[in-house]
Structure 1
Amino acid sequence: MDVEGARKRGRPEAASSDNGSLKKSKTGNQAREHIEQLQRLQQKDPEFYDFLKEHDKELLQFDDDNDDIDEEFDTDLEDGDLRLDDKAKKLDFPEKEQGPLKKTLTTAEVDSWCKSIQENASLSAVRSLLKAFRMACHYGDDGGGESTTKLSIMSSSVFNKIMLFVLNEMDGILRTLLKLPSSGGKKETIKDLMTTKLWKNHSYLVKSYLGNALHVLNQMTDTEMISFTLRRLKFSSLFLTAFPTLLRKYVKVALHFWGTRGGALPIVSFLFLRDLCIRIGSDCIDDCFRGIYKAYVLNCQFVNEAKLRHIHFLRNCVIELLGVDLATAYQHAFVFIRQLAMILRDALNTKTKEAFRKVYEWKFMNCLELWTGAVCAYNSESDLKQLAYPLTQIISGVARLVPTARYFPLRLRCINMLNRIAASTNSFIPVSMLLLDMLEMKELNRPPTGGVGKAVDLRSILKVSKPSLKTRAFQESCVASVVEELAEHLAQWSYSVAFMELSFIPLVRLRSFCKSTKVERFRKEMRSLIRQIEANSDFVNGKRMSVSFLPNEPAAAFFLQDEKEAAASPLSKYVATLRKRAETKNASLTDSSVLVGEESSVFGSKIPESDEDDDARRNEEGASVFSSSWLPGKGSKVKNSTETKKKKKRQQKQMATDEDVVEDLVLSSDEDDDSLNENLSEGENDDEEVEVPPKQESKKQRTKRSKQKKSRGKSRNR
């Protein structure tokens, strides 16, 4: 063979370039391509192929199973090695061996672990039990049966035993391992513990317990199981200090159960949240305050007789939680009250029906009720007491926004809030004008043309229908409410040295109403109130004749202090009678009530350091709950959030009355609390639009209306 001739034809250069490109390829596919190229070269130019075998043996030495194509073979390739078919080129891997069969966990094994833990404090038994607890919490999940899991829980008795033992005993086991007190503690204890070797060795056990318990909480649908699980997890809430992600998830779950469930679960969920705020503090208190306010708003969009007690319970919970940290509560309350003020300001500026509707809805009014309750509950504290003035301004503006008779219930609700703020802060708020203006409206000064009508519960509505305005029942309810609220307002100052001057204008206008009204029942009611006011004026004047100080001197604050403590003034006694009458009337109007739990909604000011006295009772409850042969599985999972929201919205539509006006509670966009705006659900508008006050009519509209009246009068004369 002429080697030089072959090189002149360019074949060696082509071979070397092919060799260089093949050295860069490192995958099996490129190796197979190289084999095919050599096969084609052997067919086209056998002489050159023999030349390569003799002089460039490295070109033919490769391994398609190795990433490094420069690795040498142990033996030289033969011609037949290059003629492998496609099937021969594929690597034949042995089939994967099936893993060991999962071991069925028995009651005896669980009992042995529990015994080892209780008698010997065996750490290996704790690990095994937590693995079984993980299997129990994830039983039936998609992908729950992982290849690394060697245990399988088949019977409900094994599941119940694992759940009960872990939930009842794991908190004490973990505290023993970490050398912590048997109960209680603050977040500083965990912060200090996290720097020790003890925590590094056992923290994975704490995280496993809390993480798996959170997972099973999301799967449960039975309220008794959820209540028992949350009660037991409350003892271990201190450990969440070390796991911020888990802490946020627990807060979210507890808020969900507090706002959407029934029975005793709302109370248990609230106590869990309160325990988190007290023990962990600043790490979760902001999330809890924002979350519970948002949940409250979502649950008070609609009000009727049946929901009054439940909404009152939710309001008490929010107020109680705010008392954990009043300095932080003031910051959140300031933002939320400012948002309400901006909604009212928009209504006053734009004067449109849509803007009025955003104020005259249950969400807005229940938010005012909440902050009124908070200011009254913590009136002795300097933090929230500062909010009394802006809150009073907002409530007064809401009461005057649409001054029509249809919104008497809303105005009376605002007046009631103002009276409560005045009584708690010992501040004078001029609410008598709001009440006396109501008496001068034509709807209360004309005979009822709509018959007797049904009894009207002014607590559960914001607006009355037009036919109800003309009924006798509505007129009587309004006049009685005006008398009650006016008496409450004057009774607060019935011991003031300036009571005679303060009551002068109300007395004049009440006498004017008695002369103008044509309804004898109303005249009789007002005369009774007038007599009590006059008697109280004589009572105060008789006492102040003997004093020498002026009304603006500090000594005037202690005038009739003994009589005030004994509630001896005529107006105080009259108000006590009116309250009993109102309670009797409200009891007769309430057809049903919502029970929110088995315990009281009034909570103590301090959380107990230990709940060991209730352990026996709670353990018995857990045993009865988990002995119901319940295994969590695919069928027990809670429906997705979209379906839940749709179902809840349908229920709310059914509960809404035709007088309800519901719109989105639009909050301030320049604040950092955008999550509250995003999660407020949409409500349904009232069939009847919000009435624009007559004074808002333009000059052109008034002229047109007067022409229409004139034309109608002329047609009648004809």
Structure 2
Amino acid sequence: MGKVKNSKRKNANENEEEDEVLGSSKKAKAREHMDQLQKLREKDPEFYEFLKEHDKELLQFNDEDIDDDNEFDVEDAEMQEDDIYANEMEDLSTSANMDGKPSKKVITTAMVDSWITSIHENTSLGAVRSIMRAFRTACHHGDDGEDESAVKFSIISSGVFNKIMMFVLGEMDGILRGLLKLPSTGGKKETIDDLMTTKQWKHHSQLVKSYLGNALHVLNQMTDTEMISFTLRRLRYSCIFLAAFPTLLRKYIKVILHFWGTGGGALPVVSFLFLRDLCIRIGSDCLDDCFKGIYKNYVMNCHFVNATKLEHIQFLGNCVIELLGVDLPTAYQHAFVFIRQLAMILREALNTKTKEAFRKVYEWKFINCLELWTGAVCTYNSEPDFHPLAYPLTQIITGVARLVPTAQYFPLRLRCARMLNRIAASTDTFIPVSILLLDMLEMKELHRPATGGVGRAVDLRTILKVNKPTLKTRAFQEACVFSVVEEVAEHLEQWSYSVAFFELSFIPAVRLRSFAKLTNIDRFRREVRELIRQIDANSEFTNEKRMSSSLLPSDPEATAFLEAEKKSGQSPLSQYIAAIRQRAQQRNESVAGSSVIVGEHSSAFKKGVSESDEEAEDGDGDDDDGAAVFNTSWLPGNESKNKTPKETTKKRKKEKKDRIEEVAADEDVVEDLVLSSDEYEDADEDDEEDISDIPSDGNDVEKPKPPKQQSQQLQKPPKGQHKKLKPTMDATSKKRAPCGAKSKKRKRANKRDT
């Protein structure tokens, strides 16, 4: 034991001697520096006064003010800079555990207040480093696998955590810009490139990296949507600094794209604005990653469409189109590649004609990508970079519409016709959309009587394929005919002021008259004849103006024919299409109802852009919002992370799932209609050419064939009995079978039939 004690004393003495040698060398350097300052004061008093005004810390140097950390680490001497918490820190630093390990220094409110005061009054660099060390502790508190012995500070109060987060996120951008001598806002990549060669960047770059890196870490740990939105809104001011750290930049893009695609409330809007700022300020270093990433996330979020997701997908598509406008030459390169991928998928389906090849085309992912690029071409058509994409996109859409020309894919064909109408209107180019639409009116399913009953209203915007029982319902036939009439009117209205309107509308008018003669349904005949009357009236309108003009078809002035009338909307078709659009809007609203929910708040995506943008630009109100967000007593740790956030997310997922199930139950009532086997045989005699092996898009589910007894009960009644029987629902349906007096009468009728 005595030998061990003697060896320990000897080692301690050696360590003390080494510390004395190091301390004496440091003190000698400090005295030498003080002598140099004194000589400078004597030789050049004017320069000394200049330093006194602009850099007081350099002149106040003494032999005790020695920083063991060369540049950026915070040591105890720096934290003892202010007298308010010096004694507290000294007491905590001298305390030790029983096993000899030093205890962590607990950060208190008084310490944080003293750092903030020192930063505001003296712009103390030591206080900045201290609060950044505290910020790192707050961001990493409770991390799994962290070496707790290496952590010098700890936070045990949610109030301290809130104060640190609020101050750092709210004011650190301005502090860093002041240290680096940058403008208070804005900046470009070139500014950071020039800054990286300066002495200020060498001294303070680690502070910038620490701020951005720790903020990214805490973003990955957060689960509350409001906290993430507030943090991203504050970090958006400092996004220009990411130009100096390519690795951090890629990580930020990945995290922000995840929030944009999966977030609720205002989080997608805030994430998109952050991403857009990165593309504008940093430019070519992040454009490729942003364009590829946002397109990939869009595709991942549009696999399925229903009334609940329709507006959300439209919002995501608008964000992609807006981001492409930041750099159109670069966007054209990516758009060309992605449109070419769609063309190759369609070519494979046309050549192989297999089930898998058709499935790749006739799915929501493919159709939504066509919708996206249609919107992009229509938005940037006037730009020379995007105009060449209109022709190949038109060819792809036409090929998709004609791939499987059956009535079951009527909704998909109608969507393609709408896309072609949009491209034609934006590019002012004639596309023969009427041929595609009028072929749909000649399908035999629209000329047969509705043997499937009235049926439930069909929302053609949310489906790509319908099942065979739905084809025979009156509601589906009405939706098809009215939609075709609307799109034909839209197509012809685009050319209602053309000098060649009579020639363009001749063949569509002939085919519409043929349909009106062949159909046996009065409401369809009335609708089509009204459109024919408007076409004839518009032909008289243009012919009357053309007879008084001496224009030739080859004259360039023919494009300006009836330009004044076009601005005032005087043509008969223009007045007719206004009523048609209003009727279509009312029908869509009646079908969708009030069940369309975007995220957690129905108005978040409509009003969120302007509100978030104003908050980000003005900066007013951010502190109040942040105080409300971080005052939820959320302290990042194992206990709080595993309880409160997960419970809330589970609750939200459950509520969202219940809402989707309710909407799906309301939409799929038509599919519960089961026809007898005889009716299936009669209906399928004329459908031998129908490609029935193409899988559905998820909106229609195949029902099992009814047993023999049930099919016998559901057979057609005798000729003398005109009353149609409504079949009962199966066990999987959520609606009850009819009961009461009416159901008893049906049972008696079924017994008589059998």
TM superposition score normalised by structure 1: 0.75
Aligned equivalents of 1:688 and 1:342: distance in 2?
Answer: 30
Supply the AA of the counterpart residue of 1:221.
T
Alpha-carbon deviation of 1:209? Answer: 0.3
Alpha-carbon deviation of 1:611? Answer: 6.4
In the TM superposition, what are the counterparts of 1:688-703 in structure 2 within 5 Å?
A: none
Query: Is this contact kept in 2: 1:653–1:684, CA < 8 A?
Result: no
* Secondary structure at the counterpart of residue 284 of structure 1: helix
Asked if 1:630 is matched to 2:634, the reply is yes
Aligned equivalents of 1:684 and 1:542: distance in 2?
Answer: 52
Alpha-carbon deviation of 1:219? Answer: 0.1
Report the CA distance shift for 1:623/1:648 in structure 2 as closer, same or farther (over 3 A).
closer
Query: Is this contact kept in 1: 2:410–2:465, CA < 8 A?
Result: yes
Query: Is this contact kept in 1: 2:409–2:466, CA < 8 A?
Result: yes
Counterpart position of 1:123 = 125
Alpha-carbon deviation of 1:546? Answer: 1.5
Query: Is this contact kept in 1: 2:269–2:609, CA < 8 A?
Result: no
Report the CA distance shift for 1:146/1:186 in structure 2 as closer, same or farther (over 3 A).
same
Alpha-carbon deviation of 1:653? Answer: 10
Alpha-carbon deviation of 1:650? Answer: 9.5
Counterpart position of 1:598 = 604
Counterpart position of 2:169 = 167
Report the CA distance shift for 1:598/1:193 in structure 2 as closer, same or farther (over 3 A).
same
Counterpart position of 2:512 = 510
* Secondary structure at the counterpart of residue 383 of structure 1: coil
Q: 2:436 aligns with which of 434, 443, 457?
A: 434
Counterpart position of 1:47 = none
* Secondary structure at the counterpart of residue 387 of structure 1: helix
Counterpart position of 2:255 = 253
Query: Is this contact kept in 2: 1:157–1:629, CA < 8 A?
Result: yes
Query: Is this contact kept in 2: 1:313–1:601, CA < 8 A?
Result: no
Considering Cα pairs closer than 8 Å and 6+ residues apart, tell me whether 1 or 2 has the greater RCO: 1
* Secondary structure at the counterpart of residue 204 of structure 1: helix
Supply the AA of the counterpart residue of 2:304.
F
% same residue? 71
Q: 1:216 aligns with which of 215, 218, 223?
A: 218
Q: CA-to-partner distance for each residue in 1:157-209, whole Å, 9 max, x for gaps?
A: 00000000000000000000000000001010001100111101000000000
Aligned equivalents of 2:166 and 2:546: distance in 1?
Answer: 71
Query: Is this contact kept in 1: 2:465–2:699, CA < 8 A?
Result: no
Aligned equivalents of 1:684 and 1:482: distance in 2?
Answer: 24
* Secondary structure at the counterpart of residue 464 of structure 2: coil
Q: 2:346 aligns with which of 344, 349, 356?
A: 344
Supply the AA of the counterpart residue of 2:387.
K
Q: 1:308 aligns with which of 301, 307, 310?
A: 310
Supply the AA of the counterpart residue of 2:158.
S
* Secondary structure at the counterpart of residue 391 of structure 1: helix
Alpha-carbon deviation of 1:146? Answer: 3.5
In the TM superposition, what are the counterparts of 1:471-620 in structure 2 within 5 Å?
A: 471-591=473-593, 592-596=595-599, 598=604, 600=606, 614-620=618-624
Supply the AA of the counterpart residue of 1:628.
T
Supply the AA of the counterpart residue of 1:233.
L
Query: Is this contact kept in 2: 1:302–1:652, CA < 8 A?
Result: no
Supply the AA of the counterpart residue of 1:585.
R
Tell me which moved more, 253-262 or 612-621: 612-621
Aligned equivalents of 1:648 and 1:386: distance in 2?
Answer: 46
In the TM superposition, what are the counterparts of 1:312-331 in structure 2 within 5 Å?
A: 312-331=314-333
Q: 2:448 aligns with which of 428, 439, 446?
A: 446
In the TM superposition, what are the counterparts of 1:122-141 in structure 2 within 5 Å?
A: 122-141=124-143
Query: Is this contact kept in 2: 1:407–1:462, CA < 8 A?
Result: yes
Counterpart position of 1:46 = none
Alpha-carbon deviation of 1:649? Answer: 14
For structure 2, the residue ranges without an aligned partner over 5 or more in a row are 1-96, 670-696, 704-754
* Secondary structure at the counterpart of residue 518 of structure 1: coil
Query: Is this contact kept in 1: 2:265–2:605, CA < 8 A?
Result: no
For these two proteins, the number of residue pairs brought into alignment is 565
Supply the AA of the counterpart residue of 2:218.
V
Report the CA distance shift for 1:629/1:611 in structure 2 as closer, same or farther (over 3 A).
closer
Tell me which moved more, 255-264 or 589-598: 589-598
Aligned equivalents of 2:466 and 2:248: distance in 1?
Answer: 48
Aligned equivalents of 1:516 and 1:202: distance in 2?
Answer: 82
Supply the AA of the counterpart residue of 1:431.
V
In the TM superposition, what are the counterparts of 1:451-462 in structure 2 within 5 Å?
A: 451-462=453-464
* Secondary structure at the counterpart of residue 235 of structure 1: helix
Q: 1:364 aligns with which of 366, 376, 400?
A: 366
Alpha-carbon deviation of 1:104? Answer: 1.2
Asked if 1:334 is matched to 2:336, the reply is yes
Asked if 1:384 is matched to 2:390, the reply is no
Query: Is this contact kept in 1: 2:538–2:572, CA < 8 A?
Result: yes
Q: CA-to-partner distance for each residue in 1:58-102, whole Å, 9 max, x for gaps?
A: xxxxxxxxxxxxxxxxxxxxxxxxxxxxxxxxxxxxx99623211
Counterpart position of 1:152 = 154
Report the CA distance shift for 1:653/1:524 in structure 2 as closer, same or farther (over 3 A).
closer
Q: 2:465 aligns with which of 463, 466, 483?
A: 463
Asked if 1:278 is matched to 2:280, the reply is yes
Alpha-carbon deviation of 1:600? Answer: 3.5
Q: CA-to-partner distance for each residue in 1:511-530, whole Å, 9 max, x for gaps?
A: 11111111111110010000
Alpha-carbon deviation of 1:497? Answer: 0.2
Supply the AA of the counterpart residue of 2:185.
S
- Larger gyration radius, structure 1 or structure 2: 1
In the TM superposition, what are the counterparts of 1:226-305 in structure 2 within 5 Å?
A: 226-305=228-307
Query: Is this contact kept in 2: 1:375–1:385, CA < 8 A?
Result: yes
Supply the AA of the counterpart residue of 1:403.
P
* Secondary structure at the counterpart of residue 616 of structure 1: coil
Query: Is this contact kept in 1: 2:233–2:616, CA < 8 A?
Result: no
Supply the AA of the counterpart residue of 2:635.
L
Query: Is this contact kept in 2: 1:450–1:467, CA < 8 A?
Result: yes
Supply the AA of the counterpart residue of 2:422.
R
Alpha-carbon deviation of 1:547? Answer: 1.4
Report the CA distance shift for 1:399/1:599 in structure 2 as closer, same or farther (over 3 A).
closer
* Secondary structure at the counterpart of residue 134 of structure 1: helix
Aligned equivalents of 2:608 and 2:158: distance in 1?
Answer: 38
Aligned equivalents of 2:150 and 2:354: distance in 1?
Answer: 65
TM superposition score normalised by structure 2: 0.72
Tell me which moved more, 592-601 or 260-269: 592-601
Aligned equivalents of 2:268 and 2:190: distance in 1?
Answer: 29
Aligned equivalents of 2:467 and 2:525: distance in 1?
Answer: 26
Q: CA-to-partner distance for each residue in 1:547-577, whole Å, 9 max, x for gaps?
A: 1121232100100001111111100111110
Q: 1:375 aligns with which of 374, 377, 395?
A: 377
Aligned equivalents of 1:402 and 1:148: distance in 2?
Answer: 66
For structure 1, the residue ranges without an aligned partner over 5 or more in a row are 1-94, 660-682, 690-718
Alpha-carbon deviation of 1:145? Answer: 4.8
Counterpart position of 2:400 = 398
Alpha-carbon deviation of 1:261? Answer: 1.3
Query: Is this contact kept in 2: 1:317–1:601, CA < 8 A?
Result: no
Query: Is this contact kept in 1: 2:538–2:571, CA < 8 A?
Result: yes
Alpha-carbon deviation of 1:599? Answer: 5.7
Counterpart position of 2:55 = none
Report the CA distance shift for 1:157/1:354 in structure 2 as closer, same or farther (over 3 A).
same
Aligned equivalents of 1:518 and 1:129: distance in 2?
Answer: 81
Q: 1:409 aligns with which of 408, 411, 414?
A: 411
